[in-house]
Amino acid sequence: MDKKLNRIKVVLWEKDMSQKELAAKLGKSFSTVNAYCCNRQQPTLDVINRIAEILNVDMQELIDGYKKVY
């Protein structure tokens, strides 16, 4: 199964934020955030929402790449 289940790593790169910075802002370990970014582990919807808030993006952009246009 090569399908990526989230785009957190891509959005972090687009926002010029490191996994270490995200981990600190989330209050999670680097290894947990790294597992999210590498799709070894999937965050809960609550955590995805917190990541979206930190990165100032819509949750859907983290999941399927769809960007809302306002």
Going by pLDDT thresholds of 50, 70 and 90, the confidence category of residue 37 is very high
Residue spans per domain, the chain:
8-64
Q: In this predicted structure, what is the pLDDT of residue 38? A: 94
Long-range contacts formed by 25-31: CB under 8 A, 24+ apart: 25/54, 26/50, 26/51, 26/54
Residue range 46-57: mean pLDDT, rounded: 97
CB 58 within 8 A of CB 26: no
pTM listed for this prediction: 0.85
Tokens of 69: 């246009």
Domain 8-64, classified CATH 3.40.50.1000, yes or no: no
